[in-house]
Amino acid sequence: MAKKAKTQVGLGSVLSTVSGPSSHEPPDSGLDNSVPADLIEKFTGSDKLSAAFPFNATKPSEYGSAAKCPFSGATTDAPNAVVRASTVSESNVNEKTGGGPPDGENLQKGDLDRSRVDSEGRVLTTNQGVAVGDNQHSLKVGLRGPTAMEDFILREKLTHFDHERIPERVVHARGSAAHGYFENYQPIPEHTKASPFNEAGKQTPVFVRFSTVAGERGSTDTARDVRGFAVKFYTDTGNWDLVGNNIPVFFIQDAMKFPDLVHAVKPEPHHAMPQASSAHDTFWDFVSLMPESTHMLLWQMSDRAIPRSYRMMQGFGVHTFRLINESNESTFCKFHWTPVAGTHSLAWDEAVKISGADPDFHRRDLWEAIESGNYPEWELGLQLFSEAQADEFEFDVLDPTKLIPVELVPLIPVGKLVLNRNPDNFFAETEQVAFCTAHIIPGIDFTNDPLLQGRIHSYLDTQLTRLGGPNFHEIPINAPLQEIHNNQRDGSNRQSIARGRVAYEPNSLGGGCPFQAGMQGFTSFPEHIAEDKVRGNPQKFADHYSQATLFWNSQSKVEKQHIISAFRFELTRVQVPAIRERVLSLLVNVDATLAQSVAQGLGIDVPSAAPLVEGVSYPVLNDSPALSETFYPGDGTIKTKRIAILAADGVNGNSVNALYDAILSQGGVPRVLSIQLGKIETLEGDMLDVEATLETMPGVLFDAMVIADGERSVANLAMDAHTVEFLRDQYRHCKPIMVSNPAKGLLDKAGIQPTLPDGSADPALIISNEYAEDTTLASIEQFLMTVAKPRDHSRETDPPLV
């Protein structure tokens, strides 16, 4: 009896959630087992666990020189698994609760299969799992009576539909994405300990999103705009987001001006026009008063702003970042993605027409390439340099309006990016993916680039509204492969159910867990800074024109003409003459010929140059060939290139089949087009399937075209004006054209000369003179070799002749 009286004292505390005895002596369950043994174990075990932490062992590392090397958190194992549990009742499991995760694990990690749903063979249900008997009609009081308010199936269905859309991104709203991997070539431990670069052949899963910047979610793909190039690396040390663009510089130098820039380029607030275009007054008003935008304006008015495909554009990290090695040494770094397919662009007239014919042109191109097994690929190159080197440059590497010419700091190839899987669901993956420049891993760190510093805040902040709160990291596409263990709790849309009573650190009641990693975790580079607080920029930031001139000097003759035409088009749409003149005053500081040519196109005189900042050195930079698209011709294949074969009744079926097979064998995409869908009769008496019509898929959607052999076929095509339009657009946009001898009359009808404007032979216009098989095959080979080359602009005139 004495023993029972003793144990009763502690057992009351075990059964309560407030206060407890002053003694460490463990209570006994008693002779009658009136208190569950596991509850006593949890009570006494918590005391033992906490007693293992007589003080905070990591506290000394927070002060003085020790703070440079934080201690790893102190931990101890719980004496029993139930001690760290939220509840002793967790052993009572069912189909819903499950048995709980293995100790120390977060089962939300892993691949996306844990979130995928397939409904094959399943009945339709409500969101509560109730089978739906009738999905065709609402519940009514009588067949012609009022709808019953109790119809919970109707209400759930409509309510969900009414709330399906989330806010679109403020910028980069229009985008497409794909899964893939980054494969490292060789480790670079002397520069970084970052996980993707630490092993030869290592593959890191990625999700990559491409986008336009200014347009809304429903805008066109082919607007003249900067393109986003964002890569989420799912590394074994956490997620790293390299959030860049297809242009290596930006309009502004400081994040303070980012809202102003976006407000200026977005549709004007009084009438909400224009959509996805910079060709309006507010944009040009803003940039004409921000001379640091001049370099970026040259890029945006160049062909880089209207890429042929997401697969055929470069990507850049834009900012200067730091790489950190195991010795905590820093190397400055610029990131470059170079497409294997080369850098290729659209003609402006072509881009405008594509917007009407297929506003999803880039999205469709990316999807189709991956589905066909022609996986897009880029090589990652790094520009690596020390802070001492950076100090010697005539520009500031922290200025996001400047680039580092590869002639000054060469690119070092370190790996390749391959996109090999399309998303299963656009909304769940592409729309809900959240990129943020703040997402970095050990081995990567920031610099003091003032635009980058603002982006670190802004990208994270915008997800709070767009994705419903601070738990957007739990959305499957955003979740890292690594487990998440921290003391963050609650918030809107919380998915994880944290076990245990502890949500703070340091703690003893959770055995010190989760504990800080110390030097094994992320530690910021200890950059020494001793300066006064000030608002402004370094003196080197004031050179707004030297690199704009460098870019201009590096362009081919054709590319320069395209820049002039783009400025002319955009500024013609500006209504206020003073704004046009102010833009021209910036261009005077870039190049006299550029300014004169644009002014002539606008019918105005060249104004005086915009004033320069006194005391600033303006270095003379000749050219950098790598800044021209012609520097990256691509792999020399016709893979994924779309080739139209125009045919009608009376076509030479043998030549069509030979051409079709040759295109397919080299990875191209042939399509037989005619006046209408159905079948056409060949010269041989066979029936040939038509795949698309001239009306549905106009010439701007193809990389090359063939008018197939057959006099009657050509005559039938000649009666349809779409044929002439198709031919004119292909010619005007400098695409390879092959026609049979009978089709020469169609060239005349379209106003196309067989020679170039200068009288020389047109290498991209191939006329097959004979029906002989060997001649046909030779013509096909010549044609496909031409298609494999970059676009030849020698036909081009301004204004166009056709």
Residues serving a catalytic function are: 172, 245
Q: Which residue has the tokens 């006194």?
A: 614
- Which class for 329: exposed (0-12), middle (13-18), buried (19 or more C-beta within 10 A)? middle
User: Cβ(377)–Cβ(146) under 8 Å?
Assistant: no
Six-digit token pair at 21? 């005895």
Residue type, 681: E
User: Residue 512: which region, alpha, beta or left (left: phi > 0; alpha: psi -120 to 50)?
Assistant: left
* CA atoms of 533 and 135, how far apart (whole Å): 65
Closest by CA to 780, choosing from 699, 660, 647, is 660
Task: Count Cα atoms within 13 angstroms, Cβ side, for 563.
Answer: 30
Residue type, 751: G
Whether omega before 506 lies within 30 degrees of 0, making that bond cis, reads yes
Spatial distance between the Cα atoms of 528 and 509, rounded to a whole number of angstroms: 38
DSSP annotation of 41: H
Instruction: State the DSSP H helix or E strand holding residue 65, giving kind and residue range, or none if neither.
Output: none
Note whether 209 and 241 are within 8 A (CB). Answer: no
d(CA 454, CA 437) in angstroms, rounded, equals 10
DSSP 8-state secondary structure symbol assigned to residue 125: B
- Alpha-carbon gap, residue 13 to 20, rounded angstroms: 5
> Which residues contact residue 513 at a Cβ distance below 8 angstroms, ignoring those fewer than 6 apart?
75, 84, 104, 485, 502, 507
Please state at what angle helix 721-732 crosses helix 348-357, rounded to 10 degrees.
Answer: 140
**d(C-alpha 507, C-alpha 56), whole Å:** 9
**Is the CB of residue 634 less than 8 Å from the CB of residue 699?**
no
Place of tokens 């190049």: 591
Q: How far apart (Å, rounded) are the C-alpha atoms in residues 304 and 629?
A: 8
CA 365-371-377 angle, 5° bins: 70
Amino acid residing at 259: P
